[in-house]
Amino acid sequence: MKLGRIAVNGPDGDVARLVLVLPEEGRVIDLKRASVLALEKQGATGESARRLSEALFPGSMSAAIGLGERFLDAARRADKERPDEASIPIAEAKWLPATDPSVVRDGLTFIGHIKGFHEKIGHEPHESLLKVPGYFKGTPHTVIGHDAEVPWPGYIGHMDYELELGYIIGRRGGNLRPEQARPYLFGITVFNDFSARDRQSIEMPIQMGPTKCKDFAYGVGPWITTIDEFADLDAIPMEVRVNGETWGKGTSANKLWSVDELIAWASLGEVLEPGDVIGSGTMGGGSALELDRRLQPGDVVELEVGGVGILRNRMGQPQPGLWWPQERAPFM
């Protein structure tokens, strides 16, 4: 199944709705509406049908996934029935981020990108990359969805995209081993780790992880495809286009660390929550930096992942007048 989030107009403004996505039919099914209709046909009052449907299909994807198989069973019923009365043309959908994670995690697993990135910055990959499947944590408050404009803070001069898979967590868990990790993987979405390369070169030597070079935007969407629809997680086609021109193309193969190892490592000493997203790291050739290119304001970036779909975003205009620190005099 393909499951997403859209905004629909309510009496007090837009509200989030979970939808079953049917790209082949050019429509989505409002899952809450479909549930209300089904319950009313079974004799439920309108008020009771709405209460139960809201519990099964809240506006939060994370909360819905947290219901476990109860949520999936209800979604499967809607997939079987596909009522026209709950249908919305896919072209009219106003997409929200596919999930609303408690935190964003982003890994570094593709060997091709590790090599290509370090060649461009003139450094050898650190030996620690061979010891643990590293990742960083980002804010969940700047996650954007399909067709959203990407904020461009004015302190960024060199803007880049990164083509990644987004692994969606399906169960709460901690201190996992790799052989235990797969049941915790709910599905896959497309993840764009927008990056400010000029600010990244300043922040990373501090050794406290990326901040302003990453946390202005993370693209997550257009929807989630449940994990049962993927036969091989290391053979997923991936492609990036800028203004319609292909800039990178490959597959999800050739990783230094497996999906299961990355999930297990992220769970050590902490707790993964349903709906959390873990970026796979960038596919080899999946960033403009590796091509000696860069994004410009107004560019349209499309990331396509086989079995999922296309995450499309337009780069916004640089925001003027933002404060930036004055460099300090050396003290050592």
Q: Residue 281: its pLDDT value, please?
A: 96
Residue at which a domain ends, from 65, 95, 125:
95
Statement to judge: residues 58 and 38 lie in one domain: yes
What residue type is 253 in one-letter code?
A
- 292-297: long-range contacts (C-beta < 8 A, 24 or more apart)? 292/120, 293/247, 294/158, 294/159, 294/160, 294/197, 295/159, 295/160, 295/161, 295/242, 296/159, 297/152
Statement to judge: residues 122 and 33 lie in one domain: no
Q: Identify whether 65 is part of a domain.
A: yes
Number of domain units in the chain: 2
Q: Residue 138: its pLDDT value, please?
A: 97
Angle among Cα 258, 111, 302 to the nearest 5 degrees reads 90
Q: Identify whether 327 is part of a domain.
A: no
Spatial contact of 149 and 314, defined as CB atoms under 8 Å apart: yes
Q: Residue 258: its pLDDT value, please?
A: 97
Statement to judge: residues 270 and 211 lie in one domain: yes
Residue at which a domain ends, from 95, 113, 131:
95
**Could you say which residues of the chain have pLDDT below 50?**
none
- List, in sequence order, every residue forming a beta bridge with 224; answer none if it has no partner: 3
Q: Identify whether 325 is part of a domain.
A: no
Distance between CA atoms of residues 296 and 115, nearest Å: 25
CA distances from 91 to 75, 95, 122 (A): 22, 10, 45
Statement to judge: residues 165 and 211 lie in one domain: yes
Q: Residue 194: its pLDDT value, please?
A: 98
Show the domain range for 271: 104-319
CATH number, domain of 145, equals 3.90.850.10
* Residue listed under structure tokens 């286009």: 241
What digits encode the pLDDT tens for the residues 205-259?
A: 999 999 999 999 999 999 999 999 999 999 999 999 999 999 999 999 999 999 9
Statement to judge: residues 55 and 148 lie in one domain: no
Q: Identify whether 52 is part of a domain.
A: yes
Kindly state the tokens that stand for 258. Answer: 């497996």
Statement to judge: residues 210 and 312 lie in one domain: yes
Statement to judge: residues 158 and 259 lie in one domain: yes
Kindly state the tokens that stand for 255. Answer: 């990783």
Q: Identify whether 242 is part of a domain.
A: yes
- Helix pair angle (31-41, 69-81), 10° resolution: 80
Statement to judge: residues 90 and 117 lie in one domain: no
Statement to judge: residues 54 and 167 lie in one domain: no
The pTM of the full predicted model, rounded to 2 decimals, is 0.97
Statement to judge: residues 184 and 202 lie in one domain: yes
